[in-house]
Chain A
Amino acid sequence: MANEEVKLLGAWASPFSCRVENALKLKGVKYEFIEEDLQNKSPLLLQSNPVHKKIPVLIHNGKPIAESLVIIEYIDETWDGYPILPKDPYERAVARFWAKFLDEKCLPALWKACWCTEEEKEKNVEEALGVLKILENELKNKKFFGGNTINMVDIAANFIGYWFGVVQEALGIKLANAESFPALHNYMNEYVKCSHIKEHLPPREKLVGFFRARVQATSSS
């Protein structure tokens, strides 16, 4: 569609922001990326997402949409091209189920396990391993959550496919080894090789550096 204005308020190191960029690029949508300073949020961000005051926010012809998974479905509905969600209602429901599971259970559990104090470690690591076992089971005999090609779940799983490894490297930890989680490790390998994804990921060195700086900031505060 000609004369379309698409802006994305995001942050380069955020997996949530990156998901939306991935979806836009898959569809070949031209957009303006506006990097937000999360310590000093812009009036545009606060006005576009007054409820959560968070990135990412997609602004399409002046109309804002917030929440990364909502934005991804919007992108899929609005622009033709790569099918991010399946057409069949049952397969769509399955994809939404897993995307929800990733956001509501996996990411919080993995994040907590990475960043918690020593006292909380045992409980948090156990919870993280629990969700990873569920993912391991789902990924058995599959290259991606979407099967042979990526779908919305894989876009949503960028934390699993990429950020998780980066954060662990920055922290000098390893929560899930390849022997116990072969399918998951295979997924992470395939993820960064997938042409629909690898070009849209932030550079690994830069991202590791970002999280290392965050570790230092946390330990010195």
Chain B
Amino acid sequence: MAEEVKLFKTWSSPYGLRAVWALKLKGIEYESIDEDHDNKSPQLLQYNPVHKKIPVLIHNGKPVAESLVIVEYIDETWKQNPILPQDPYECATACFWAKFGDEKVLPSIWRVFIQEGKAQEELLGQAMENLKFLEEQLEGKVFFGGEKIGLVDIALGWIANLTCMLEEISGLKLITQEKFPLLFGWMQNFVCTVFVCLNPKPTERPRQLGGLQALDY
């Protein structure tokens, strides 16, 4: 069956990258449509009228929105290289940690980097506590998904991407090898697998982000 798969995303959004990683893990051909945050296309507004946000996956004309919903849809539609475990308990555990990442870890880390001085110190404690939970989850594992990348790795992939950039901009080191050895190791493994192995011919077009460069797909 000729499948039509399109992905509305932006070049920088970590949420859009989740869908990209899931599609690449499954080896799905898709058309990438890069949106402009400040000038959203009529198609995006039509496909996601509730949130008016990327990412939106269009599969044979039908839109799916919300990045983790998209990843689960991709996993349930294309069966090769499973992203979620088969076992219901392990699947529930993965969904729990993916949710934790979005609802607690990401906001707590973001708040640390946008504050300064005493306010930053106070927020640091909460971010560290959240990272400790993740560190514990990596005990005895290469990835959160075990031997291979799974839902939680995809959901937390922004840590490997965004945190390093934020650390470089602000000068504050949050995830060090001393404090979080497993998480630090995971970041290296994740970057290697996703940015290199899944993308053998990255485009050479670097983008600027506050003085840093990010590889585009």
Which stretch of A23-31, A93-101, A114-122 is in the interface? A93-101
Whether B95 lies near A63 (C-beta < 8 A) is no
Query: Residue A93 contacts which of B72, B93, B96, B133 (CB distance < 8 angstroms)?
Result: B72
Indicate if the CB atoms of A73 and B92 lie closer than 8 Å.
yes
CA distance A74 to B96 in the complex (A): 11
Could you tell me which residues of chain B, from 69 to 101, have a CB within 8 Å of some CB in chain A? 69-70, 72-73, 76-77, 88-89, 91-93, 95-96, 99-100
B208 to chain A, nearest CB (A): 32
| A36 close to B (CB within 8 Å) | no
Determine if B96 and A70 form an interchain contact, defined as CB atoms under 8 angstroms apart: yes
Residues of A within 8 A of B62 (CB): 90
User: Could you tell me if B66 and A74 are in contact, using CB atoms closer than 8 angstroms?
Assistant: no
Q: With A89-B77, A101-B50 as given contacts, are A71 and B92 in contact (CB-CB < 8 Å)?
A: yes
A91 to chain B, nearest CB (A): 10
CB-nearest residue of chain B to A63 = B89
**1/0 contact string of A42-67 vs chain B (CB within 8 Å):** 00000000010000000010010111
| B-chain residues with CB within 8 Å of residue A93 when the two chains form the complex | 64, 69-70, 72-73
Q: Would you call A142 an interface residue if the criterion is a C-beta within 8 Å of the partner chain's C-beta atoms?
A: no
Query: What is the size category of the interface that chain B forms with chain A?
Result: 20 to 34
Any A CB within 8 A of the CB of B59: yes
User: B66, A100: Cβ atoms under 8 Å?
Assistant: yes
- Closest approach, in angstroms, between the C-beta of A12 and any C-beta of chain B? 24
B65 interfacial by beta-carbon distance below 8 Å: yes
A sample of 24 inter-chain contacts (CB < 8 A) reads A51-B100, A51-B104, A65-B93, A65-B96, A66-B96, A67-B96, A67-B99, A70-B99, A71-B92, A73-B92, A77-B88, A89-B76, A90-B59, A90-B62, A90-B73, A92-B72, A93-B69, A93-B72, A96-B72, A97-B50, A97-B65, A100-B66, A101-B50, A134-B50
A47 nearest CB across to chain B (Å): 14
Chain B residues near A77 (CB-CB < 8 A): 88, 91-92
Give residues 135-186 of A contacting B (CB, 8 Å): none
How many interface residues does chain A have, given as a range?
20 to 34
Cβ contacts under 8 Å, A195 to chain B: none
Min Cβ gap B213→A in Å is 33
Instruction: Report, nearest first, the 5 A-B pairs whose CB atoms are least far apart.
Output: A77-B88, A89-B76, A93-B73, A74-B92, A93-B64
- With CB as the reference atom, state the residue of chain A lying closest to B103: A104
**Known interface pairs A65-B96, A74-B88; 11 further A-B residue pairs with C-beta atoms within 8 A, sorted by A's residue number:** A70-B92, A70-B96, A73-B92, A73-B95, A89-B77, A90-B59, A92-B73, A93-B64, A93-B69, A93-B70, A96-B66
A79-112 CB mask vs B (1 if < 8 Å, else 0) is 0000000000110111011001100000000000
Contact present for A90 and B64 (CB under 8 Å): yes
A78–B76 contact, CB under 8 A? no
Interface string of B118-151 (1 = CB under 8 A from A): 0000000000000001000000000000000000
Segment 34-81 of B: residues with Cβ below 8 Å from A: 50, 59, 62, 64-66, 69-70, 72-73, 76-77
